[in-house]
Amino acid sequence: DLICKKLKLKPGMTVLDIGCGWGSLEKFAAEKYHVKVVGITVSKEQVRLARKLCKGLDVEIRLQDYRDLKKKFDCIVSVGMFEHVGYKNYRKFIKVVDCCLKDSSLFLLHTIGGNKSVVCLDPWIDKYIFPNSMLPSVNQITKASEGIFKLEDWHNFGTYYDKTLMAWHKNFNKNWDKIKISYNERFRRMWNYYLLSCAGSFRAHKNQLWQIVFSKIGSQVDYESIR
């Protein structure tokens, strides 16, 4: 709901979600705010489940690469996808968003970030969890958007992600007996290590979680921050 409020959603607006995951944001926005949502992902499994979740709603789920987008939208959002774009493609990503965003409209980028600019991720995470991913820095994001977007709001709530990860860890182990038929003991240890190590990185403020709101340079947007 916080994302929808930050985007100032109104009935009838068209919304693009780049990297839509399993479709939960699409479902929520369409049901509560009565907007038309297009969600794209490169995962066939996510497309299948997201379409099932959003059946009967004004939602379109596409199997599509963001670089192939052409149509313009009233607002654009991307949650947890920018970490998989790669530093060499940050500027390209921002340019695609710019081309697809109508004037005087908003773009919200939700991403985990790091305190330093890097060009690779932790080797263990890269091998076992998120291959070829990396965490952007403030400098990398602002450099990619410079001259294209105006920064309207930068919200950091990484402290809360520690609590989220610990809740996931608790739920995972609480329900292990129900799901262990599909996974082995090695996976259980790996997943616990992943969740706990990530929680520790947020607790130590090594990693951050950002929601950044942009508008086009030159657009007539009077933005008030939402918390």
CA nearest to 8, candidates 104, 119, 113, 117: 104
Give helix 185-203 / helix 158-174 axis angle, nearest 10°: 160
| CA-only gyration radius of the chain, Å | 18
Instruction: Show Cβ contacts of residue 6 under 8 Å, excluding neighbours closer than 6 positions.
Output: 106, 108, 153, 211, 213, 226
Give domain status of residue 176, yes or no: no
Give domain status of residue 185, yes or no: no
22: its two tokens: 């399993």
DSSP 8-state code for residue 119: S
Determine the pLDDT at residue 13: 98
The domain of 10 spans 2-159+207-216
Give domain status of residue 55, yes or no: yes
CA nearest to 66, candidates 136, 134, 18: 18
How many domains in the chain?
A: 1
Give domain status of residue 31, yes or no: yes
Determine the pLDDT at residue 19: 98
Instruction: Show Cβ contacts of residue 199 under 8 Å, excluding neighbours closer than 6 positions.
Output: 161, 162, 165, 166, 169
Give domain status of residue 183, yes or no: no
Check 4, 54, 75, 198 and give the catalytic one.
198
The reported pTM is 0.95
Active site residue 4: no
Determine the pLDDT at residue 120: 84
CA nearest to 142, candidates 159, 124, 154: 154
Q: What are residue 216's DSSP bridge partners?
A: 149
Compute CA 31 distance to the chain's CA centroid, rounded to the nearest angstrom.
Answer: 20
Determine the pLDDT at residue 8: 97
Give domain status of residue 63, yes or no: yes
CATH at residue 153: 3.40.50.150
Q: What are the per-10-residue average pLDDT scores of the chain (227 residues)?
A: 98 98 98 99 98 98 97 98 96 98 97 94 93 96 98 96 98 97 97 98 97 94 91
SS3 assignment, position 181: helix
